[in-house]
Every structure is written in structure tokens, then in C-alpha cells.
Amino acid sequence: MADVNTDSGGGGKKHGKKRAKKTSTRIDMTPMVDLGFLLLTFFILTTTFNKPQAMEISMPVKDETLLDKDKNKVPAEYTLNLLLTKDDKIFWYKGMADPNKGALPSLNKISFGKDGLRKLLLEQNKKAYEKIEALKDDVRSGKIKEDVMREEIKKYRLETKRTTLVVLIKPDKESKYKNIVDALDEMAVTNVGSYALLESNQVEDLMLADALKYK
């Protein structure tokens, strides 16, 4: 509130004329403090805080037609192994690293990004990628509904389960959490339906240590 000071400040007559009274104003800021607290309380109660984001991982479809001894078998010729290590480095090889079944496969170094891991996955998963993208285009154009697309993708993956790419992501102790997230993102982008996070075995650790010496 504003108060008016009506002190005459030495008013009187001078040379036969009456001097005008001096006035001064003082602004009371007390109500502004109350208003500040009201605004602060309002913003606190109405603010939406950031919620933790979780990555959605598609779990494999249960196949009741397989025998128990065959459920965990992965076709070696369709298996792509990704070894994640320090300094954002990533190595890959096809098949299985078993010294009892011949020579060990050689490791190939690639990088994260469109020209690295994504390009590799698109090359290895080309048929499935094109099939699923065509179904997504049908949804966007209104030809089919999204639930129909999901059923078609589920059916396609069951039918081609033994002939589609399986990716095994194997980070070591020196890899970053960000690298794992980036690798999982690429699985979704390239429509890889079968993938898993595993620990590397001793043979792969030796292969990786040897590769890091020269690459």
C-alpha cells in the first residue's frame, strides 16, 4: 500500500503568497511478499517433474512346438555376436567361437552409428527389415490397423525363427552403459526380432584382448 506524507515541510507565506504543501509517497512492499509465496506454492504444486524413462524390450515369443532340448539352441550361421569394450569400441563376428570345432572366427571392428553398426545390421537382417517396414507403411497409409500389423509381425517371426538374424550383445567390464543402450536402440531401428544381452566367455575375452592389441 502507498502512504501519503502530508507534512507541510515549512509551509507558509512568502512575499504574500501561500506556499504549496509538499507531499511524498512510500510504497509498502509487504503484500508483495505474500504474493511471492503464493506464486511459489502454485508453481511447486503444478510443476510436473521428469519421470524416469525405461526402454521397452520385446521378449521372444514362446514357441510351444519346440522340444525342451531345442528351445535354447541358436543357429550358428544366423548368429551375430557383438563384443562391446572400452573407448566406445565394438567388434563383431558371425557364428560361434568354439576352439573344439575348428579355427576361431576373426573379429571385425566397427563403430556406432548409421555407417557402422546400423549398416551391418541392415545388411544381415535385410529381408526381415523390409518385410516389417512394408507392414508399417501399410499402417501409416491406413491399409491395415496397428493390431493387425503386430499379429503379422508375430506370425512372420515365428515362421522364420530358424532363418532370421539372432544378435548376441556381449559387453565387457570396461564398456559403458551408454554403449549398451545404443546397441539396443539399433535393434529396434533395424527390426531385429531376436537379441539378447549375455556375458562374453573366456575364448571371446582372449579374442578381444588380442584384437585390441592391433586395432
Answer with the residue of higher pLDDT: 123 or 25. 123
- The answer as to whether 170 is a domain residue is yes
Mean pLDDT of the region 15-19: 59
- The answer as to whether 188 is a domain residue is yes
How many angstroms separate the CA atoms of 125 and 137, rounded? 18
Give the lowest-confidence range in 10-19, 37-46, 164-173, 178-187. Answer: 10-19
Instruction: Look at residue 82 in the predicted model and tell me its pLDDT.
Output: 93
How many angstroms separate the CA atoms of 97 and 25, rounded? 88
- The answer as to whether 12 is a domain residue is no
Tens of pLDDT along 30-80?
A: 778 888 888 888 888 887 766 666 555 555 455 554 444 555 566 778 889
Domain that holds residue 206: 73-125+165-214
Our count of domains for the chain comes to: 1
Is residue 170 within 8 A of residue 199, CB to CB? The reply is yes
- The answer as to whether 114 is a domain residue is yes
HEC letters along 61-111: CCCCCCCHHHCCCCCHHHEEEEEECCCCCEEEEECCCCHHHCCCCCCEEEC
Residue 144 has pLDDT above 80, yes or no: yes
How many of the other CB atoms lie within 10 Å of CB of 197?
Answer: 12
Instruction: Look at residue 211 in the predicted model and tell me its pLDDT.
Output: 83
- The answer as to whether 106 is a domain residue is yes
Give the lowest-confidence range in 5-14, 107-116, 120-129, 175-184. Answer: 5-14
Instruction: Look at residue 103 in the predicted model and tell me its pLDDT.
Output: 74
CA angle 196, 123, 205 (to 5 degrees): 45
Length of the chain: 215
How many angstroms separate the CA atoms of 19 and 16, rounded? 9
- The answer as to whether 183 is a domain residue is yes
- The answer as to whether 9 is a domain residue is no
How many angstroms separate the CA atoms of 74 and 180, rounded? 21
Dihedral of CA 84/85/90/93: which sign? negative
Question: How many helices (H) and strands (E) in the chain?
Answer: 6, 9
Of 55, 109, 61, 105, the closest CA to residue 84 belongs to: 109
- The answer as to whether 130 is a domain residue is no
Q: Strands 79-84 and 194-197: what pairing?
A: unpaired
Tens of pLDDT along 71-105?
A: 556 677 888 999 999 888 999 998 888 777 767 88
pTM equals 0.63
Is residue 61 within 8 A of residue 158, CB to CB? The reply is yes
Is residue 194 within 8 A of residue 162, CB to CB? The reply is no
